[in-house]
Amino acid sequence: MTIDNEAISVTPEHAFWTIDQDWVEAEDLKVGDRFQTENGTIVDIDHIAEREGDFTVYNFEVEDFHTYYVSELDILVHNANCGLSPNAQRAIERHENIRTNVLGDINSRSGHNHFDAARREALGEVVATRPDGTPFDHVGELQEAHNGLQNVRRAIESEMNNLPSTLTNRGLDVLSRRHSQVQADISRLKGFLSSIGHAP
């Protein structure tokens, strides 16, 4: 994203302190959201672009704090961890992977996603083949994603039922929001698989 003409790269779960909305995760920020820098200057988001791929990222904590200032602008952010256990962090990462790689678009062409491919496969069409010529199983991929989401939900619920002493208020909010997102994804996937005759 670009804030006051300065590019800042960040992962989706890092939160920024906005003037109007309190803590907002990067994935929920919008052009025009406003921040107050450490010296009191008001700046806003000029542009947001999502990048695909693997990138080296850093997540750190300032001793006794989960917040710090980033960039030359000194914008207040909150680390992604928020006191979550490693198990909960892995569950959230797994959810992001499922959302991106299975529930999202396969490529940039409209209608090229696992849902469209699975619907066509359920009608008997071979949509794609592997290099060895065997058909790719998009229905199976979605069923595996449903099972994976069930595991993610259980891990998040376990964390919510046994809150770690390191958990921050924002961490609790992250768990609650993520649990709702996972539940919605499970419902969506279950409904779709049932509609094509492959209920999980």
Of 193, 185, 1, the C-alpha closest to 100 is: 185
For domain 2-78, the CATH architecture is Beta Complex (2.170)
Cα 127 from Cα 139, distance rounded (Å): 11
- List residues bridging with 42 in a β-sheet: 36
Q: How many residues does the chain have?
A: 200
- CA quadruple 76, 31, 106, 91: dihedral positive or negative? positive
Q: How many CB atoms lie within 10 A of CB 2?
A: 13
Percent of the chain surpassing pLDDT 70? 86
pTM over 0.85: no
pLDDT in tens, 134-192: 999 999 999 999 999 999 999 999 999 999 888 878 788 889 989 999 999 999 999 99
- Which residue, among 60, 59, 76, has the nearest Cα to 24 in the 3D structure? 76
Q: What is the pLDDT of residue 140?
A: 95
- Counting Cβ atoms within 10 Å, is residue 122 exposed (0-12), middle (13-18) or buried (19+)? middle
| Cα pseudo-dihedral 19, 168, 12, 3, rounded to 10 | 30
Q: SS3 for 46?
A: strand
Phi, psi dihedral angles at 60 (to 5 degrees): -140, 165
What residue ranges do the domains of the chain occupy? 2-78, 86-196
Q: What is the pLDDT of residue 149?
A: 97
Tokens (6 digits) for 60: 């750190």
